[in-house]
Structure 1
Amino acid sequence: MTKQFSLAHLTVLECSPPELIYLASKAGYDFVSLRTICMGLPGEPNYTLHENKELLKQTKAALAETELKLLDIELARIYDGLDPKTYVPAFEVAAELGGRHVLSSIWTDDESFYTECFAEICDLAKPYGLTVELEFVPIASITTLADTLKVLVAVDKENAGLMVDAHHFYRSGDSVEDLDSVPQEWFRYFHLCDAPSGTPQSKEEMIRILREERLYVGEGGIDLKRIVERLPNIPLSLEIPNSKRAKELGYEEFARRCLQSAKNYFA
C-alpha cells in the first residue's frame, strides 16, 4: 500500500514556510506541516502568517507552484488562561491554504478547563473544514494515550481526533496493543520518527532529544512497524529534528534523508 509523507516544520524549523515548501517538493514529499501558531519559545522563529501578509502571499505561491498540499498547522496549545478564540485567525489562514488538520496538546492540569477549551477549539475549527488532533506529550500535562482518549470521549466532537507521535508514544509507557481500542476514524495522520533506546535520565535530556536529536526511521529503538500496522493508511508526517545533522547536511539534504529512511524502512 502506497504511503504518503509530510515534512513536519519542527524537522527544519529554521526554514520559513515557503522555504520549507520548496525544499519538501525537491525532496519528494507529498505534504507539508506548518507551525503557523508560534509557541513563543526562546529562539523560536515566528511564522504567524495572519500577522505577516507578505509571508502568507509567498507561502500561498509556493504551494501553488509546487502543488504540495498543506496537511496540518500547529500548535493550538491549551494552557492556563487561554482564550481559544485567539486561534481563529490561524484557522482562517489554514483553510485559505487548503489545510486539513490542526494539532493541539494540553499544558494545564485543570481538567474541566482543558476539556472545555478543547471542545471550543473543535467548534471554532469546524466552520473552516478543519479537524483538531489531540496529541499527548511526555513533558506536557496529558502524557498518555489513555488520558487523551478520555478527553476525546468527553468532548464527543466529530472533528476531534488523535495524533500519535512515535517518540512520545515510546516514552509514554503505553503498549502498542492499546491502539487497537481506538476508533480508526480518529487517526488522520501520524508523526513518524525514531529515537534512542532507553529512558532519558532527566526531563531536560528528554526535551533535548525530542527537539534536537531524533533519529532517522529505523535507526533507533522504536518498533515502528508494530505501531503503523495498527493505523489506517494515513499520511506519515516526518518530525525528525536533529540539529547536528541538519547543520552538517543542509536542510534540503537532511529532509531528503529523513524521507528516504522512511521509504527504505517500509519498502
Structure 2
Amino acid sequence: MNRPLSLAALTVLDLSPADMVSCAAWAGYSHVGLRLNPATPTEAHYPTIGDTPVIRDVLARLQDTGVKVLDIEILRLKPDTRVTDFEAFFETGARLGAQHVLLAGNDPDHARLVDNFGATCDLAARYGLAAHLEPMPWTDVRNVAEADTIIRAAGRDNAGIIVDPIHFDRSGDTIEGLAAIPPSRFRYMQFCDAPAARPTSTEEILFQARAERLPPAEGGLPLRELLGALPAGIALSIEVPQMALARTVGPFQRARRLREACQHLLASC
C-alpha cells in the first residue's frame, strides 16, 4: 500500500515554507505540512496568508516538484477567538491544495470551545478542508477522549482528531481507548518516537515535544500498536524536531533519515 508520508513543518523549521517543499521532494516525501501561523512567538514568521511572494514561491515549488500539501497549521481556539478571522487562512490553504487543518484547543470554557470548533469546521468546509483537533497535555484538549467529546458535541462531518504518539503517551491515552472512537475521525496522524520514560514536569514535556523527539523505532512509544489501531494506510506526518542534531546536520539530510527510519518501521509491521 502506498501510504502518504508528509514532512511536517516542525521537523524543518529552520527552512522557509518554499524550501520545506523542496526538502520534502529531495528527501522522498509525497506530501508536506506547512505552518502558515507560527506556533510560538520565538519561531520565524513568514508572510504566508494571502497572495504574498512567499505563497507564490510555495506554489511554484509545489508545481515543480509534484509534492502535495497534506495539512496547514496552526489555529488556536482561544476565549477571544473570532472564527471569521480564520477565513484568509483557509482561503490560502485551499489555494495551496491542502487537505487538512490542525487546531489546538486553548479555551477552558467547554461550551464556547465546542461552538467555536463547530463554526471553524463550517468555515473550513467552504474551502474543502477538514478541521482536526490535536490533543496536547498542556492545552485545554488534553487527550483523545476530550477531543472526541468536543467533536461529538459539534456534530460536523469534516471534524477529526490528530493522534501524535508523543502527546498520546504523555497524556495517558491508551490503545484500547481508540477503539471507542469511530475510525472516520482519523484522517491522518503525526509520527515520531520519544523515550519511554515520561517527563515529570510540563516544562520538560513541552521541551521534548517541541525540540527533541526521536526517529521512529528509536524510542519507546507504541508506534506499531498505534498503526494497528488506526485506519489502514492512514497518512503519516513525520514530526520529529531535533534541535541538537540540527546544529551539525542540515534539514535535507535530517528529513531523509527520518523518512528512511519511518519506512523501515512500516516494512516491519
Instruction: Give the TM-score normalised by the residue count of structure 2.
Output: 0.96
Residue 189 of structure 1 is matched in structure 2 by 188
Residue-by-residue CA offset, 1:204-257 (whole Å, 9 max, x unaligned): 111110001000000011010001111112110000001011221101000111
CA distance, structure 2, for counterparts of residue 228 and residue 47 of structure 1: 34
CA distance, structure 1, for counterparts of residue 224 and residue 164 of structure 2: 14
Residue 59 of structure 1 is matched in structure 2 by 58
CA distance, structure 1, for counterparts of residue 2 and residue 66 of structure 2: 19
Pairing 1:62-141 to 2, within 5 Å after superposition = 62-141=61-140
CA distance, structure 1, for counterparts of residue 204 and residue 161 of structure 2: 26
CA distance, structure 1, for counterparts of residue 44 and residue 90 of structure 2: 19
CA distance, structure 2, for counterparts of residue 13 and residue 116 of structure 1: 32
Instruction: Please list every run of 5 or more consecutive structure 2 residues that lacks an aligned counterpart in the other structure.
Output: none
| Amino acid aligned to 2:144 | L
> What is the DSSP-based 3-state SS (H/G/I as helix, E as strand, rest coil) of the residue aligned with 2:114?
helix
CA distance, structure 2, for counterparts of residue 127 and residue 261 of structure 1: 37
Residue 237 of structure 2 is matched in structure 1 by 237
| Amino acid aligned to 1:104 | L
Residue 210 of structure 2 is aligned to residue 211 of structure 1: yes
Residue-by-residue CA offset, 1:17-45 (whole Å, 9 max, x unaligned): 11000011000001001010233x23211
Residue 44 of structure 2 is matched in structure 1 by 45
Between stretches 218-227 and 179-188, larger displacement belongs to 179-188
Instruction: Please list every run of 5 or more consecutive structure 1 residues that lacks an aligned counterpart in the other structure.
Output: none
Residue-by-residue CA offset, 1:117-136 (whole Å, 9 max, x unaligned): 10010011111000001110
> What is the DSSP-based 3-state SS (H/G/I as helix, E as strand, rest coil) of the residue aligned with 2:248?
helix
Residue 200 of structure 2 is matched in structure 1 by 201
| Amino acid aligned to 1:91 | F
| Amino acid aligned to 1:42 | P
Between stretches 82-91 and 19-28, larger displacement belongs to 82-91
Residue 176 of structure 1 is matched in structure 2 by 175
Identity %: 36
Residue 12 of structure 2 is matched in structure 1 by 12
> What is the DSSP-based 3-state SS (H/G/I as helix, E as strand, rest coil) of the residue aligned with 1:116?
helix
> What is the DSSP-based 3-state SS (H/G/I as helix, E as strand, rest coil) of the residue aligned with 2:102?
strand
Residue-by-residue CA offset, 1:33-71 (whole Å, 9 max, x unaligned): 1010233x2321113412571001100000000011000
CA distance, structure 2, for counterparts of residue 76 and residue 140 of structure 1: 13
> What is the DSSP-based 3-state SS (H/G/I as helix, E as strand, rest coil) of the residue aligned with 1:249?
coil
* Residue 177 (structure 1) shift: 1.2
Residue 32 of structure 1 is matched in structure 2 by 32
| Amino acid aligned to 2:126 | P
> What is the DSSP-based 3-state SS (H/G/I as helix, E as strand, rest coil) of the residue aligned with 2:162?
strand
Shift >3 Å, 4+ stretches: none
* Residue 3 (structure 1) shift: 2.1
| Amino acid aligned to 1:109 | P
Change (3 A) 1:51 1:95: closer
Contact map agreement 1:118 1:155 (CA 8 A) in 2: yes
CA distance, structure 2, for counterparts of residue 207 and residue 229 of structure 1: 27
Instruction: Give the TM-score normalised by the residue count of structure 1.
Output: 0.97
> What is the DSSP-based 3-state SS (H/G/I as helix, E as strand, rest coil) of the residue aligned with 1:74?
strand
> What is the DSSP-based 3-state SS (H/G/I as helix, E as strand, rest coil) of the residue aligned with 1:87?
helix
CA distance, structure 2, for counterparts of residue 84 and residue 48 of structure 1: 20
